[in-house]
Amino acid sequence: MNTDPKNIIDSEYSDIMQQSYIDYAMSVIISRAIPDIRDGLKPVQRRTLYDMGELGLRSDRPYRKCARIVGDTMGKYHPHGDSSIYDSLVVMAQDFKKGRTLVDGHGNFGSIEGDGAAAMRYTEARLEPVTEEAFLRDLDKDTVDFVPNFDETEKEPEVLPVKIPNFLVNGSEGIAVGMATSAPTHNLKEVIEAEKAYLDDPDITTEGLMHYLKGPDFPTGGIITNASDLPGIYENGVGKIKIRGRVTEEKGKNGRKNLVITEIPYTMIGAGIGKFMSDVIDLVESRKTTDIIDISNQSSKEGIRIVIECRKDSDTDNLKNLLYTKTKLEDTFGVNMLAVHDGRPETMGLKAIFSAHTAFLYEINTRKYTNLLEKEEKRSEIQEGLIKATDLIDLIIETLRGSRDRATVMRCLTTGDTKGIRFRSKVSEKEAQNFNFTENQAQAILDMRLAKLIGLELEALLKEHDETLKAIKKYKDLLAKPASMKKAISGELDEIAEKYGQERRTEITDAAAAVFTAKPVEEMDVYFVMDRFGYARTIDTSTYERNRETIEGDEAAFRSVFLTKNTGRIGIFTNTGMLHIIRVMDLPMTKLRDKGVPIDNLSKYDSSKENFVYIDDLDNIVNAKLLFVSRQAMMKLVEGSEFDVMTKRTVAATSLGDGDELFRVKAYDEENDRQVLLQTEGGFFIRFAISEIPEKKKGAVGVRGMKLGNGDRLEELYFMNFADERVIEYKGKQMALTHVKLSKRDGKGTKVRV
């Protein structure tokens, strides 16, 4: 190994890491995640479409298994795994995601409601007609550069010669390293009209372009509600589009009203529909509205249809606003029109996009017509030679019969050299010396069939030559005059718009912000009910009164029951020292034996880590003085007003030492709670006056009520009055609490043996 110091390169590690990261980031940006502004395609999309073209999967041919397409694309052009290729293929075939689908899928390609596509071995695909005509047609005319594939065994196009601004028509979504692209879909007709306007006037403003391109046109329809923001978005390429679903009102059964959603925001595609229905159900269960009776998804292949059944007297306009404000029926689409331009990622406004694409159109058309001109000129050369040869056919045949080999004939036809050729007469030889055909003409003459000498064939050749001369004139005119080229490009765009254009689906307007006016809630008494599993609900007072004995006798099903207001709040203290607050309005009003909802769903309470210690109406808590006791016998009194929090749903109720947990919280009753008796797991008892427990803030740990032995902790506590003759059962025997002598706080207590 050569260890000569002269051969060691000294580099800063941070510089190497920085450069490596930049190289990696640019590779992801250029080679995977961000589309090229010229064809609006990411590499995986471009390679998939090119491979389908190479496989001959035209729109008028049978479908081919997607597994074949994916395998061929991966093996030849895109060595990044089959799932990315198939996912890309599926998206290009989904008409609810693309403005114009590029792949014609056959089989299960997923649904707007979030159902995934079937495995690639089951589905089939072929190209859409628009893909053939506007994306792949001119690949054989040297319109774009071809580059080696990953292992240099194949060639692939650097970019497809796309004739439409596909970046706008089909939009794009992608996440790269440190950046992302999010471009909405647009209407093909409008995009083409705007591009033609830019061709006519490159100095046109963004507002001028928007005279033709009104705004995004999502395949799911919907209503864009901030039209006045669109000029700024299209000027800078960045912004937020507000979009609503379309809601209509229909007559329902029994005089009821139905709100029917027929179009959804583009952002709701997939699981968003199920989430929307779940959110509507939550609005009903939480009593945000009482106007909704039922919701059903009646969507089919014909389109979206979500029916919300409402009460007869419901305010449907106010209910619409509730849906807009509390669900994804109104959502925001973030626009960031980032694309690769001249090899670099760039956020582009509308005018910059058209500028880049029209420049690309001029480039590919210039290359196309240059290529066609060369072919027509070569064809004209051969045609002129054949026409000339028909007048000299007898002499040419005599030359052929008198020659020994093909090379001799070629030399004679191109240069007039008759050496080595036997002619019938000197006259023929002298005439042959005047031959001056080009090599291409001479080759065509030698390849010519005798059938060309038929009169009709000769006439066809003369007619074909006239057409060739017209084509040459046309191509030269296109290449020499920018106005002619512009006219040709516009003509192609018009043809595509006429064949594949669609009517606009998304409405654009400036709508007022949705404002929901909640109906005033009539305050009433209800009973909070929670079972031992933490499922809570409320029941009305009449239900409670009718079933009082059942409720009081079934402690498992009715672990915690107390009177509260339907407008009130419930405070839940847990062993971790936290206070969770839930609104009574969030609890469902149920029948007596209904299950209710888990407290976990209504607060940050975690039943896997926490246990209930004390539950009560928050007003009762705030107006009381609370006694806190921990397992390690730390005690304090806290004014309930410290827990009067209006905005927070979870607060720390107390501080705890290491390994300690909150054991008991009790509303302090000054009349009856005069003494407290603590019992430990080790069998120690201590009784002292509650007046020895100081009042502290909620953030304090408190004072020690009893000195515990190693590993010992509180097992039970009892509150007593001075004359309380309370008897408890301890280890199977009766024991009067007054037998434990009254002492001071923070003692070791008395060991009770039974």
Please give the distance of CA 152 from its chain centroid, rounded to a whole number: 35
Strand pairing class (662-667; 675-680): unpaired
Q: Tally Cβ neighbours within 10 Å of residue 373.
A: 17
Strand pairing class (292-297; 257-263): unpaired
Per the listing, tokens 């003459």 go with 445
Angular region, 447: left φ>0, alpha ψ -120 to 50, beta rest: alpha
DSSP state, 451?
G
Token pair listed for 250: 């229909």
Q: Tally Cβ neighbours within 10 Å of residue 19.
A: 11
If residue 456 lies in a helix (H) or strand (E), which one and from where to where? Answer: helix 455-480
Token pair listed for 316: 């449907």
3-state secondary structure of 186: coil
> Strand pairing partners for 310?
257, 292
What is the rounded distance in angstroms from the CA atom of residue 416 to the CA atom of residue 392?
A: 14
3-state secondary structure of 332: strand
Q: What is the torsion angle, in degrees rounded to the nearest 10, for the CA atoms of residue 92, residue 97, residue 101 and residue 105?
A: 60
Report the Cα–Cα distance between both ends of the chain, in Å, rounded. Answer: 85
Total residue length of the chain: 754
If residue 387 lies in a helix (H) or strand (E), which one and from where to where? Answer: helix 350-391
Q: Report in angstroms the alpha-carbon separations of 730 from 134, 684, 715, 718, 752.
A: 90, 12, 12, 13, 9
What is the rounded distance in angstroms from the CA atom of residue 246 to the CA atom of residue 225?
A: 11
Per the CB < 8 A criterion, the answer to whether 244 and 223 are in contact is yes
Q: Write the CB contacts of 447 (distance below 8 Å, at least 6 apart in sequence).
A: none
Q: Tally Cβ neighbours within 10 Å of residue 618.
A: 22
Residues labelled catalytic: 122
Q: Edge-to-edge, what's the strand order for the sheet holding 306-310?
A: 246-251, 257-263, 306-310, 292-297
Helix-, strand-, coil-residue percentages of the chain, each rounded to 5: 40, 25, 40
CA-based nearest residue to 412, from 383, 442, 389, 392: 442
CA-based nearest residue to 85, from 58, 115, 120: 120
Per the CB < 8 A criterion, the answer to whether 49 and 135 are in contact is yes
Q: Write the CB contacts of 134 (distance below 8 Å, at least 6 apart in sequence).
A: 162, 163, 164, 496, 500
> Strand pairing partners for 639?
625
What is the rounded distance in angstroms from the CA atom of residue 313 to the CA atom of residue 255?
A: 10
Per the CB < 8 A criterion, the answer to whether 36 and 340 are in contact is yes
CA angle 439, 441, 443 (to 5 degrees): 70
| DSSP letter for each residue of 410-436 | HHHHHH---TT---SSHHHHHHHTT--
What is the rounded distance in angstroms from the CA atom of residue 745 to the CA atom of residue 631?
A: 16
